[in-house]
Amino acid sequence: MIYAALNPVSSEVQKSIEFFNNEHTDIQIEIHDYSDEGGLERLQTELVLGKVPDIMEMHYFGKTGPKVAVADSYYVCPGSYAEAADEYWMPYRQMAQRGYLEDLWPYIESDPELGRDGVLEAPLKAAEADGGLYILFQDVVIFTLIGRESVVGSRYSWTMEDIMEVLAGMPEGSTILRYNMTRRDAFFNLLRFSLDRFMDREAGECHFDSQGFLDLVQFLENFPEEVDFEDPVEAEEEVRRRIKNGQQMLEGKMVDWQKEIAVADAIWQERAAFPGYPTTGGGSGSFFYPTRRVLAMSAACRYKDAAWEYIRNLLKPRVSQNQPLTTSNIPINAHDYELLLWGELQQTNRRIAEVGSVEKFLKDGFLASQRHFNHGPEVRMMRPLTEEESQRHRDLVNHTTLLYWPDDELSGIVWDSLGPYFAGDWTLDHTIDIIQSRATLYVNEQR
């Protein structure tokens, strides 16, 4: 079987394949490395020619490597997450539509150690294409937007109209997000992931003339084209001040464990809500971001059971009760997920016992703080973790229905077309016509 490596082959990947090959004398996995210069283009050409690898990596992290799940630098969030210039996300939905990829749900459902009860369904359903599951990943984090529950309400989704209604009731001079976020920042960090919902790839149709897309354009109009250069320390001090004074509605947040729920509360100094960004019809406003390898199986694979035996390693349990804290991300394995929630609470209780009191824990405990901001003091939790934070974490996971998987070419089409409108050179009607025309041509080229 051929394993297509988009990223440089790590020791972990090498060992996993060596282990498989040692266990199988009849079927061997051979690595084809596409991480070299021109490798991605070479793989794309081979796919068009029908030369489809048996197992494929579907996310190329770029030369600088993954931006999430790296020690001390994984706390990224919408509004601050920056992809590498050469990062690439394989268009798996289009590949599935063309019949290149195998649906993995039947393998999960028939796996005696998994089944649907053995996995977190929400992240996998977010990755579905027409009800099929064509990619698989080991763990995720959640990208979302948070706000004061007393201001934005207890919700996991909303529309642009809802946001503007909340903004109207806030103090004069308030902003939806950070005051120094530009229009381009808002588009590429928050909105481009929703563009696919205005396209019907199977029918070759686009709906950028819908009210939902017009609402997103209206949302972008609330941001400045550019901001004057500011000292980053002073800029963050102003962000903190505006949050404290109730002049900022939302803040970007990356959520891995229930500690992030408590930190969200601490940012606002009251109970936080997780509405995410505005969507058409008020659907889910938060995203699952797959943090490590993403794999797919070829529909033409001759040894599908063997390929599944390798791919399923992404879902196998990795956590034990004796040592539950082995990952900073949310595992897809349901057993590991619940054990890690439990482990976080146990670790908090152990730390409180070590320092002698809850007060000392909140003041000095390393589990009770986090550097949400790049500058200034850390954000300190208002109370130790309890089962309430664990349940709020489960609720956030179960209410998240979107997968972070951008289509860079579509994003470029839309953003380039919006530029003349924001500059005052095109009318909105003309802009929408241009986007409709260019996007329709693009989607039909991809069919």
Stretch 341-370: mean pLDDT: 88
Stretch 248-275: mean pLDDT: 94
Q: Is the pLDDT of residue 190 over 90?
A: no
Taking each helix axis from N to C end, the angle separating 387-399 and 259-268, rounded to the nearest 10 degrees, works out to 100
Pairwise CA distance, residues 238 & 109, whole Å: 51
* Residue 365 and residue 259 in contact, taking contact as beta carbons nearer than 8 Å: no
Cβ-based neighbours of 228, under 8 Å, separated by 6 or more: none
Q: Is the pLDDT of residue 74 over 60?
A: no
Which of 313-322, 360-369, 381-390 has the highest average model confidence (pLDDT)?
381-390
Q: Is the pLDDT of residue 252 over 50?
A: yes
CA nearest neighbour of 381 among 359, 356, 403, 399? 359
Between strands 287-290 and 402-403, the pairing is parallel
Q: Is the pLDDT of residue 99 over 70?
A: yes
Q: What is the pLDDT confidence band of residue 215, given thresholds at 50, 70 and 90?
A: confident
Pairwise CA distance, residues 305 & 310, whole Å: 9
For 311-372, give the secondary structure using H, E and C: HHHHCCCCCECCECCCCCCEECEHHHHHHHHHHHHHHHHHHHHHHCCHHHHHHHCHHHEECC
Pairwise CA distance, residues 117 & 338, whole Å: 12
Q: Which of 60-74, 137-151, 257-271, 288-302 has the lowest mean pLDDT?
A: 60-74
423 or 83: which carries more pLDDT confidence? 423
Q: Within 10 A of 99 (CB to CB), how many other CB atoms are there?
A: 10
Which of 14-23, 63-72, 227-236, 349-358 has the highest average model confidence (pLDDT)?
14-23
Q: What is the pLDDT confidence band of residue 221, given thresholds at 50, 70 and 90?
A: confident
Query: Following DSSP, what letter does each residue of 226-268 receive, concatenated?
Result: ------HHHHHHHHHHHHHTT-B--EEEEE-STHHHHHHHHHH
In 169-210, alpha helices (H): 183-186
Q: Is the pLDDT of residue 275 over 80?
A: yes
Q: What is the pLDDT confidence band of residue 66, given thresholds at 50, 70 and 90?
A: low
Q: Is the pLDDT of residue 78 over 70?
A: no
Q: Which of 54-58, 80-84, 409-413, 415-419 has the lowest mean pLDDT?
A: 80-84
Q: Is the pLDDT of residue 77 over 60?
A: no
Q: Within 10 A of 32 (CB to CB), how many other CB atoms are there?
A: 14
Q: What is the pLDDT confidence band of residue 232, given thresholds at 50, 70 and 90?
A: confident
Chain-centre distance of CA 432, in angstroms? 28
Q: Which of 211-220, 304-313, 314-323 has the lowest mean pLDDT?
A: 314-323
pLDDT in tens, 279-311: 777 678 898 999 889 999 999 999 999 999 999
Q: Is the pLDDT of residue 326 over 60?
A: no
Q: What is the pLDDT of residue 325?
A: 58
Stretch 200-216: mean pLDDT: 87
As a whole-number percent, the residues of the chain with pLDDT over 90 amount to: 60
* Collapsed DSSP state (helix, strand, coil) of residue 115: coil
Stretch 372-384: mean pLDDT: 88
